[in-house]
A and B are shown apart, each in its own frame.
Chain A
Amino acid sequence: MMIDFSMPGPLLAALVLGFFIPIPLWFMTRLSFLHERNPVQFLYAVILTFGVWFLAVSFVPMFAPGGLEDWLVGGMALAGGALVYLEIWGLMSRGYTLSVIATLHEARRPLSADEIARNYRGGDGLDWIMRHRLGGLEAAGMVNRNDDRVTLQAPGGFFVARLYRFCIQVLGLRSTG
């Protein structure tokens, strides 16, 4: 019985590069054509990191792979690191609760629930969330909006809604949202 602690080269490269994903991400946020496009900034940063990792594994002897499995493990490690940063990035750029905290912080005084709702996101108000989320669903072709009426659109909307219902049932979740 033993635990083997030897680390494949591509995994070592992935751990080093994965840790530093915020550096290419910061670089992407400085590019004017990506201004305020947070998801795209993150995507480009991850693509750049994977590119550097591929070059490092291909040309740096200490990161050289022993076989296909080493590539796979390294790729999983780098993708795992990207997922961790994606979660943080998602919270920073889309976090509902964090935005409420920022609203309270900016007000510099206690606020009632109605005032928080009005001042949310620098004065956009909570309605902004509604416009943003429904606008996203509409752009993805999942719903159609006609004044106050929102209609589920086939096939994308029905497919995603049914998949969502299936996942809730399988996981046994009682409340979501």
Chain B
Amino acid sequence: MIAAGIIQGIIAFFGYVALLLLLLRAFHKVEATFVVLLAALFIYPVLLAIFVVLAHSVNFWVFSTSYWFLVLSFLMGFGAIYKSLSLRMLLTLLETPTHEHSAESFRKEYIFGDSFNNRLQLMVDQGLAEWTDDKLSLTIRGANWANRLIILQRVFGIMRSG
């Protein structure tokens, strides 16, 4: 029963990856992070129900543990691929014929360009900050987030993030 639950969890994970590969191509205009998370949440109960019907008996905890462990591992890798500036810089170097690039260009393109502006826009979209006369300020929600962050950082001795 236990071993069967692990195998079912592994099969469910590969089902998730297969579904994800289709969804990311079909909904490429939707934020990929949402697609990845929603697909994981959607396919979990569906495949659990399918296994209950097909295998007649499924250990809930073993199936869930196996599936979510693999999904979380995948999400960690996905997060690195999707958001890493370092990896993006490596790819730029690979795709440049001489495999060389100016540090100043990296700075302009990635640090002060899209990446920075995307972050500011994300904060506005999520209701954490708002523009007033070309200046950005935190909303009440954003200030609450900042307070919680700073308290947590102090408790765990984190001097600064970034």
Residues on A facing B (Cβ under 8 Å): 1-8, 11, 22, 25-26, 29-30, 35-36, 38, 66-67, 69-70, 72-73, 76-77, 79-80, 83-84, 86-87, 91-102, 104-105, 109-113, 115-117, 120-122, 124, 126-130, 132-134, 136-137, 142-143, 145, 148-152, 157-158, 160-162, 164-165, 167-168, 170-174, 176-177
Contact = CB atoms under 8 A, between A and B. Distances in A.
Given A87-B76, A176-B83, A104 B116 contact: no
Contacts of A8: 2, 61-62
A110 B133 CA distance: 9
Contacts of A121: 160-162
A133 B162 CA distance: 10
12 contacts: A2-B56, A73-B5, A105-B138, A105-B146, A111-B137, A120-B162, A148-B103, A152-B100, A160-B90, A165-B94, A172-B28, A176-B87
Contact of B157 (A35, A80, A173): A35
Contacts, number: 260
Contacts of B100: 149-152
A177 B88 contact: yes
Contacts of A4: 1, 57-60
Interface of B is mostly: helix
B111 interface: yes
B162 A124 contact: yes
Contact of A133 (B56, B81, B89): B89
Given A8-B61, A173-B24, A1 B52 contact: yes
A164 B79 contact: no
Given A11-B62, A160-B90, A171-B78, A79 B69 contact: yes
A113 B133 CA distance: 12
A170 B101 CA distance: 26
A176 B81 contact: yes
Q: Which of A36, A128, A164 has the most CB of B within 10 A?
A: A164
A116 B122 contact: no
Contacts of A162: 94
A126 B119 CA distance: 13
A83 B73 contact: yes
Given A6-B59, A143-B93, A113 B120 contact: yes
B159 interface: yes
B149 A98 contact: yes
Given A80-B65, A87-B79, A172-B25, A102 B6 contact: no
Contact of A26 (B106, B136, B155): B155
B72 A84 contact: yes
A92 B52 contact: no
Contact of A161 (B90, B114, B115, B152): B90
B138 A151 contact: no
B84 A176 contact: yes
Contact of B62 (A73, A100, A133, A172): A73
A2 B24 contact: no
Contacts of A161: 87, 90-91, 93-94
A110 to B, nearest CB: 4
Given A92-B152, A98-B161, 6 more contacts: A80-B68, A87-B76, A96-B162, A100-B123, A130-B107, A151-B99
